[in-house]
């Protein structure tokens, strides 16, 4: 069955997500007032710059900041500055003993008794830095976009180490990688980190995708072809495709997909393939910058390896299974395409 949608004069009017059934309608929101959503961010509740004391107070209690390692569960492994010649902060941060640190989440997402008595929820701290240089507010946090593409690739390689560890547990059948950036995305900790969760059964979102693909063989390829036809493709190179998704969970969503890698996990990729997947995902994150966002890497049985990225700052509402997409979607996608080709790949 083709993906249900309608175009008029070549422009998308509506499209139905073949997995969830949610219908996205394209609407012109340029003159709509977003006073409520955006106004909240303008309240001058904080001084022009955080004082040293405010920075100390905020980082003193942060379990992911250097010096607070004892606030976390036992470390599983770390990547040190020596292993990280490309670390963007290395000149300024003498004495850091780690760049990336991995340990179990103190609060398992899935109770340990369901995974053979072992906690299979992990935290990957992405960088020792909490705030950007000279932060003006508590929201001026280091974001993934500042890490650089090589650093991001090291992160995904660290994720693979965690996945291998989870894979040793016979009761783990699926692993998801999740990131929340910013308060509006639901992040509980401001310090940049990823979560990795091992589950005793396929995750429902991925299982639903696998079911849809079983019912409509070639569904993912069909989605990719349609995105290209609608002008929503961002990159398509070396077996990795990225596009602005009109059928995402949020009005501003992006997918990165390796259509040939069905049933594969990150751990199955060659070094080259890992570089290409990490690169394509990172370039979307770099464009979004410090905006609140989330991403999830979906992998395993019945689906091609892929990631969903959701930008979360914009007003969002799913009303009775409908979503509104801004009519500027095409224009923004072509801006993203040019921004990526301008800034090059490294």
| b (16+ CB within 10 A) / e for 249-274 | bbbbbbbbbbbebeebbbbebeeebb
* Nearest-approach distance from CB 244 to Zn ion, in angstroms: 16
129 binds Zn ion (CB under 5 A): no
298 near Zn ion, rule: CB under 5 A: yes
Question: Which one among 13, 62, 249, 267 touches Zn ion, defined by CB under 5 A?
Answer: 62
Q: Is residue 212 near Zn ion by the rule CB under 5 A? A: no
Beta bridge partners of 325: 26
As a whole number of angstroms, the distance between CA 79 and CA 157 comes to 11
The CB-nearest residue to Zn ion is 62
CB of 95 to Zn ion, least distance (A): 16
**Candidates 21-29, 116-124, 149-157, 207-215; binding stretch for Zn ion (CB under 5 A):** 207-215
Q: What is the sign, positive or negative, of the torsion defined by CA atoms of 64, 67, 73, 78?
A: positive
CB of 15 to Zn ion, least distance (A): 17
Q: Residue 4's beta-bridge partner residues? A: none
Nearer to Zn ion by C-beta: 243 or 330? 243
Of the candidate spans 4-12, 88-96, 99-107, 129-137, the one that interacts with Zn ion by CB under 5 A turns out to be: 129-137
Q: How far is the CB of 118 from Zn ion (least distance, A)?
A: 26
| Minimum distance of Zn ion from residue 303's CB (angstroms) | 6
14 binds Zn ion (CB under 5 A): no
Task: Report the distance separating Cα 317 and Cα 300, nearest Å.
Answer: 30
Place of tokens 């929340």: 180
Only one of the segments 2-10, 204-212, 237-245, 278-286 lies at the binding site for Zn ion (rule: CB under 5 A); that segment is: 204-212
| 191 binds Zn ion per the rule CB under 5 A | yes
Q: From start to end of 157-292, where are the E strands?
A: 174-181, 193-199, 233-237, 240-245, 253-262
Stretch that binds Zn ion, among 102-110, 169-177, 187-195, 280-288 (CB under 5 A): 187-195
For the chain, list the strands marked E by DSSP: 5-8, 11-16, 23-27, 75-79, 100-104, 121-125, 174-181, 193-199, 233-237, 240-245, 253-262, 293-298, 304-311, 322-326
Query: Do β-strands 121-125 and 100-104 pair in parallel, antiparallel, or remain unpaired?
Result: antiparallel
What is the largest distance, in Å, between two alpha-carbon atoms of the chain? 61
64 binds Zn ion (CB under 5 A): yes
Per rule CB under 5 A, count of chain residues that contact Zn ion = 7
Pick between residue 29 and residue 222 the one whose CB is nearest to Zn ion: 222
Using the contact rule CB under 5 A, the part of the chain among 13-21, 55-63, 215-223, 309-317 near Zn ion is: 55-63
Residue 120 or 255: the one with the smaller Cβ distance to Zn ion is 255
Binding site for Zn ion (CB under 5 A): 62, 64-65, 130, 191, 209, 298
């Amino acid at each position: 069955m083709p993906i249900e949608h309608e175009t008029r004069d070549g422009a998308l009017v509506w499209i139905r997500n073949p997995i969830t059934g949610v219908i996205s309608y394209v609407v012109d929101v340029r003159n709509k007032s977003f006073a409520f959503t955006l106004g909240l961010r303008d309240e001058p509740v904080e001084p022009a710059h955080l004082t040293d004391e405010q920075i100390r107070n905020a980082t003193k209690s942060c379990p992911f900041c250097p010096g607070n390692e004892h606030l976390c569960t036992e470390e599983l492994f770390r990547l040190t500055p020596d292993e990280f010649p490309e670390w963007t902060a290395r000149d300024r941060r003498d004495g850091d003993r780690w760049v990336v640190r991995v340990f179990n989440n103190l609060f398992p997402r899935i109770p340990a008794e369901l995974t053979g008595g072992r906690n299979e929820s992990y935290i990957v701290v992405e960088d020792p830095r909490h705030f950007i240089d000279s932060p003006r507010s508590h929201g001026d946090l280091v974001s993934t976009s500042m890490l650089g593409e090589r650093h991001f690739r090291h992160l995904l390689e660290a994720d693979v180490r965690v996945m291998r560890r989870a894979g040793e547990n016979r009761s783990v059948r699926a692993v998801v990688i999740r990131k929340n950036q910013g308060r509006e995305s639901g992040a509980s900790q401001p310090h940049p980190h990823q979560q990795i969760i091992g589950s005793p059964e396929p995750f429902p979102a991925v299982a639903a995708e696998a079911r849809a693909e079983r019912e409509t063989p070639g569904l993912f390829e069909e989605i990719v072809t349609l995105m290209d036809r609608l002008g929503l493709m961002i990159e398509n190179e070396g077996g990795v495709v990225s596009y602005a998704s009109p059928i995402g969970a949020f009005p501003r969503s992006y997918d990165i997909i390796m259509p040939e890698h069905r049933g594969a996990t990150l751990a199955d990729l060659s070094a080259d393939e890992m570089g290409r997947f990490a690169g394509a995902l990172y370039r979307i994150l770099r464009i979004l910058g410090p905006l609140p966002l989330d991403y999830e890497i979906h992998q395993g049985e019945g689906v091609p390896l892929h990631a969903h990225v959701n930008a979360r700052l914009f007003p969002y509402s799913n009303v009775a299974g409908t979503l509104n997409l801004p009519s500027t979607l095409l224009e923004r996608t072509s801006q993203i395409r040019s921004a990526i080709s301008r800034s090059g790949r490294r």
